[in-house]
A and B are shown apart, each in its own frame.
Chain A
């Protein structure tokens, strides 16, 4: 119940394409869903986050779509660039004071020039 399942494991797209990364969860007590971007040898950096009372959120080229009934959420990267090549992690937080995150297993994205 505490898991967050992420797919695909890896993804290759052409420059300008729209990669989509999906995550699913079971625990309906999760109340905050961030996405992190991580480059090799670096710590994860927050990209964008959403709460379950919102179905979509956009920040620049990054969009989160959230389907509360299906317990799924996804990250879309518009007009992807080679500089977006990184590993992306979804996460879910239980809130309630701890705010610890349960992370997905990551998606390694490569954007071809």
Chain B
């Protein structure tokens, strides 16, 4: 499978705990995106990497959120001190930047904060 891979697919955590999601982009895609999607809504942009550099962060990405992409390959999204409002699907996507703006999404990581 050469698509965008995300892990874990589902995570249930208690409020206040930290969680980390991993994304493996399509091989050789230098651009990587994180989006958040809540029920009944479209995906909302969180942040974007070109290679290992984080070039843009949304206002939605509070201080409790941090994303990294060491070595420009896989990426992690960590949420510290989770709140119930963080419950959502976290989507990772990647692109080459030369594919006509097309970005390819993974299957998402569902987070439920109880």
Q: How large is the interface on B (under 10, 10 to 19, 20 to 34, 35 or more residues)?
A: 20 to 34
Using a CB–CB distance below 8 Å, which chain A residues touch chain B? Answer: 6, 31-32, 34, 36, 41-46, 49, 89, 91, 93, 95, 98-106
Instruction: Decide if B8 is an interface residue (CB 8 Å cutoff).
Output: no
CA of A47 to CA of B92, assembled, Å = 18
The reply to whether B45 and A43 form a contact with Cβ atoms under 8 Å apart is no
Instruction: Decide if B74 is an interface residue (CB 8 Å cutoff).
Output: no
The reply to whether A46 and B102 form a contact with Cβ atoms under 8 Å apart is yes
Given contacts A98-B48, A99-B95, 14 further A-B contacts (CB under 8 A): A34-B102, A36-B105, A41-B110, A43-B105, A43-B106, A44-B91, A46-B104, A49-B100, A95-B101, A99-B97, A100-B33, A101-B43, A103-B44, A106-B41
Instruction: Decide if B56 is an interface residue (CB 8 Å cutoff).
Output: yes
The reply to whether B97 and A43 form a contact with Cβ atoms under 8 Å apart is no
Q: Which residues of A contact B102 (CB under 8 A)?
A: 34, 46, 49
The reply to whether A103 and B43 form a contact with Cβ atoms under 8 Å apart is yes
The reply to whether B105 and A99 form a contact with Cβ atoms under 8 Å apart is no
Q: Which residues of A contact B108 (CB under 8 A)?
A: 42-43
Which of A32, A93, A100, A105 is B42 in contact with, Cβ under 8 Å? Answer: A105
Instruction: Decide if B107 is an interface residue (CB 8 Å cutoff).
Output: yes
Which of B43, B45, B56, B110 is A44 in contact with, Cβ under 8 Å? Answer: B43
The reply to whether A98 and B55 form a contact with Cβ atoms under 8 Å apart is yes
CA of A43 to CA of B43, assembled, Å = 10
Which of B31, B41, B104, B106 is A105 in contact with, Cβ under 8 Å? Answer: B41
